Amino acid sequence: MYVFSISESRTIELIMRYLLLLIAIATCYSSLAQIPASGLYGKEARLTLFRDEETKTVYGSYATCPSGAPATQKCCAFNFKGTYKNLKDKKMDIVTSWPTDTMGVKGVLLCTSDTTFTLKLKGLPATASDCGNMEKIGAKMVLMGRWPWIGLAMVQYSHSFFYSKPDENTRMYAFFLPYDVLGILERKNNWVKAAYIGYSKNTPLVNVGWMREQDLFLGAFK
């Protein structure tokens, strides 16, 4: 068995340290400037986001309004969409939208990591009557929890109920208001399994159930 000399051992140790340093740098770099991951961002200002890696498209819904975002409320509310080239992009252009507003406003996501980004607009959407400094400073968003969405949907009608199964006879007590945003987990026939996340005293409250497609604006995120 060959026994390394002291000088050879030190050389090997230095090489190993160098390799570990390179790995650490590569790991650190890989976590920087990534397109945001799917999940829920923020508390007071809520942002639900879905990253479609197949089409390299990001869909999101931002709202400072309690329980949905009717255009009659004084609040900042809009959906947006953008595309990226790769997950290391530091910047992504977006365009806002809303079911009742076809005139989109351009904006940008300035990505720090896949869990933190700043959302800025180059104007104010018709549904955003009180967006504060969204144009100048923007809104910094931090990931509160990752979710494996396969899409997003927006509630279309008042008192749209959750069902425990994709069956009309399994209606639950939980219901939603127009413009509430849900993360889609599964599709089955004309039903959608979705999750809605709210907060009570900074504690996340997760509601999961089935909804009828007819109760949703499925085209709100296309």
Give 114-161 pLDDT, tens digit per residue: 999 999 998 877 766 677 778 888 889 999 889 999 999 999 988 899
Which pLDDT score is estimated for 4?
A: 43
Q: Number of C-alpha atoms within 13 angstroms, CB side, residue 102?
A: 0
Interatomic CA distance for residues 164 and 174, integer angstroms: 10
pLDDT in tens, 80-115: 999 999 999 999 999 998 887 767 889 999 998 899
**Nearest CA among 60, 50, 29 for reference residue 139:** 60
CB 175 within 8 A of CB 188: no
Which pLDDT score is estimated for 28?
A: 47
Which pLDDT score is estimated for 129?
A: 64
* Choice between 78 and 102, residue whose per-residue pLDDT is larger: 78
* Choice between 44 and 160, residue whose per-residue pLDDT is larger: 160
Whole-model pTM: value is 0.79
- Range with the largest mean pLDDT of 30-34, 112-116, 210-214: 210-214
Report the percent of the chain where pLDDT is more than 70: 77
Predicted confidence band of residue 30 (pLDDT cuts 50, 70, 90):
very low
